[in-house]
Chain A
Amino acid sequence: MIRLTDVPNAHRPVGRTVQAGRLQRLAQSLRHNMPFLVMASPGALLLLVFSYLPMVGIIIAFKDFRASLGIFDSPWVGFKNFEFLLRSPVLARITTNTLVLNGLFILAGLIASVGLALLLNEVRLKIAARAYQTVVFFPYFISWVIVGYFSFALLNSDNGLVNRALQSVGLEPVAWFSSPQYWPLILTLAHIWKSVGYGSIIYLAAMLGINPEYYEAAMLDGANKLQQIRYITLPHLVPVMIILTLLAIGRIFYADFGLFYYVTRDNSLLYPTTDVIDTYVYRALRVNADIGMAAAAGLYQSVVGFVLILVSNWMVKRIDPDRALF
């Protein structure tokens, strides 16, 4: 069908024709897409409110926020909040702690996950293998609040299990909750305890994808188990290891708040080694009501975090485009 607007018409101004055609096309397109738009709207609206509106709120970092005035009427202060943040010793502390602790978690988590997967993979008795996997996966389902109970039961200085055990072998008890030097290790152990089951499942799945013929050929050549692991299993896991590590590095600027808040029981004596960006922002906002500093630190995290995700994704894409986020 030839529409009226499609016919060149010397008597009509060209602009109007084009405009009318565009409007009609838009109406048609809207009619066609309407069901999709309606279906997407609840989810899109939720994202708009809870993800995009806060992005607009980033301007708080450049304002002297007063609750009574609201976001838009609070006075602008330029980079004042960032100047305060830069001048306070806290910025270096939370940045170092976040990077060092997350770095420790990534490295230790990688070794533990691969190691555990290798062990589980060698267990011949199916029932035993499943039982072991159940136990190591279990902590994934336990909330950090409960882990806070565990850390209290194990580490409190009066009657915690660890101190009792130390005393029973004649050692001095340690005041764990006022000795920050031990906490990078304790937090790493807690992180591994909770996540190694999850990680090992991914590596076990990758191992299932290795062609058994490699092992058969290796056995014919007289390779022992360790040699098979060293020359067949591990090389096949390397791509997954690299990808998972790169993706984790992309998130290295974001800390697992629950781990740092509940397991340390938010003990200020431990802040020198346990205060991370997320706990600092939370405290500045909720405890000290220092909204300017909290917003500045939060924006610092968002921007650096964004860059890191882009960089890590770019690297993942160069190695294995299918695994890249985008």
Chain B
Amino acid sequence: MAAAFPTRTHRPLSQLSRNKAQLILHAVMLSITVLFLVPLLVVVSASFTDEIALTKNGFGLWPSQFSLDAYNYVLLDPSQILRAYGVTTIVTLIGTVLGLIVMSLLAYVLFRHDFTWRRPMAFFVFFTMLFNGGLVPTYILITQYLKLRNTLPVLILPYLVVPWFVFLLRTYFLTLPKEFVESAKIDGANEWQIYRHIIMPLSTPALATIGLFCILMFWNDWWLALLYIDEPKLYPLQYLLFAILRNAEFLSSNTSASAMLASTQPPLQTTRMAMAVIAIGPVAIAFLLLQRYFIRGITLGGIKGE
């Protein structure tokens, strides 16, 4: 062994300096991570702070005066946030399942060489990534011609087909061994059977990854609601949060809690922060559990700018 390391005598010294370098590196990384967490800490700490203390002492990294008032206030009548959670959950579930079906079918067609018009179809899908009609025509189409304003489908349909995901799926299908499809054809399987019983089961890793990105896209969306929803009943979670931040009164105007607390001043500022924390919570947990699948998705999918 010793012969393999002629520089062995120098090692204790270099080991020491290497440890020092690692320590400095950890110090740098720790400062970066703390800086990254500051905004989150500030909002969480504000949500656990007494309203008057927050006004007086300002936002801090730690509650200046601990209080659960904000959460109690939200829980007095949680119907507003529960409803928004419900809308978001429904939209995310339906959108992700339907999106995976529609996109995998499209990807399958673009993948099968037997399809005569494969190239024109690929161009049809691809061109939408290069050019778009812009906001105004889309808005007028959806509100005045399709009459989708204030409906649940408007939160789903425009996002069902993400061309980039279609091409990722097709690329994945192309990595599967050709023999599977060929032998199935010889056995007399039709296209539906090949899609359903061969390609889909073999593609679960790709479908799972893209499904996760779809979930994230639908869960975090506020854009469609900003444009097409003004009925508070249909507010998804992110848009409810926006409405609350823009106008604190929105918190009280829709709840019976304001009636119950008519005599006292509702803790508006801390309650807003509590709503944000309630919205972040599940995302944070899901993120911790699923992070590595997202990382795999990013590295598998190659390169895609934000």
Chain A residues proximal to chain B, CB less than 8 Å: 29, 32-33, 35-36, 39-40, 42-44, 46-47, 49-58, 60-61, 65, 67, 70-71, 116, 119-120, 122-125, 128, 131-132, 134-150, 152-154, 158-161, 163-164, 193, 195, 198, 201-202, 205, 225, 240, 243-244, 247-248, 251, 256-258, 262, 265, 278, 281-282, 285-286, 291, 294-295, 298-299, 301-302, 305-306, 309-310, 323, 325-326
**B135/A58 in contact, CB under 8 A:** no
Verify B191–A138 contact, CB threshold 8 A.
no
Instruction: Report which B residues bind A (CB closer than 8 A).
Output: 21-22, 25-26, 28-29, 32-33, 36-40, 42-43, 46, 54-61, 101-103, 105-106, 108-109, 112, 114-117, 121, 124-126, 128-141, 144, 146, 157-158, 160-161, 163, 166, 190-192, 195, 216, 220-223, 227, 238-239, 241-242, 245-246, 272-273, 276, 279-280, 283-284, 287-288, 291, 294-295, 298-299, 302-303, 305-306
Q: Could you tell me the distance between the alpha carbons of A262 and B302 in the complex, rounded to whole angstroms?
A: 30
Question: Min CB distance, B236 to chain A, in Å?
Answer: 10
**Is B295 within 8 A of A137, CB to CB?**
yes
Contact of B288 among A116, A134, A144, A257 (CB under 8 A): A134
B251 to chain A, nearest CB (A): 13
Q: Determine chain A's interface SS by DSSP, over half rule.
A: helix
| B146: min CB distance to chain A, Å | 8
A150 touches B43 (CB 8 A): yes
Whether A39 touches B141, Cβ cut-off 8 Å, given contacts A138-B287, A195-B306, is: no
Do A39 and B298 touch across chains, with their CB atoms under 8 A apart? Answer: no
In the complex, chain B residues whose CB is within 8 Å of the CB of A149: 43, 241, 245, 272-273, 276
Whole-angstrom CA separation of A158 from B55 in the bound complex: 8
Q: Which residues of A contact B39 (CB under 8 A)?
A: 147, 150, 153-154, 193
Query: Within the complex, which residue of B29, B36, B144 is in contact with A70, where a contact is CB–CB below 8 Å?
Result: B144
Q: Are A145 and B223 in contact (CB under 8 A)?
A: no
In the complex, the chain A residue whose C-beta lies closest to that of B116 is: A33
The main secondary structure of chain B at its interface with chain A is helix
Q: Which of A36, A136, A247 contacts B36 (CB 8 A)?
A: A136
A19 → chain B, closest Cβ, in Å? 20
Q: Using known A-B contacts A43-B103, A57-B138, A286-B227, determine if residue A141 contacts B40 with beta carbons closer than 8 Å.
A: no
> Are B305 and A247 in contact, CB atoms less than 8 angstroms apart?
yes
**Cα separation A247 to B304 with both chains bound (whole Å):** 8
Task: Say whether B161 contacts A141, CB under 8 Å.
Answer: no
Write 30 A-B pairs (CB below 8 A) sorted by A numbering: A39-B108, A39-B195, A42-B101, A43-B105, A44-B124, A49-B146, A50-B161, A52-B128, A53-B133, A58-B134, A58-B137, A116-B32, A123-B26, A125-B22, A134-B288, A135-B37, A136-B33, A138-B284, A141-B220, A145-B245, A148-B245, A150-B43, A153-B39, A154-B39, A159-B55, A193-B36, A205-B298, A225-B21, A281-B136, A299-B134
CB <8 Å contact, B105 and A40: yes
**Which of A44, A154, A306 interacts with B131 by CB under 8 Å?**
A306
Q: In the complex, how many angstroms separate the beta carbon of B164 from the nearest chain A beta carbon?
A: 10
Report yes or no: B136 in contact with A57, Cβ–Cβ below 8 A.
Answer: yes
Least CB separation from A261: chain B residue: B226
- A310/B130 in contact, CB under 8 A: yes
* Complexed CA–CA distance, A265 and B55 (Å): 20
Which B-chain residue is minimally distant from A148 (CB atoms)? Answer: B245
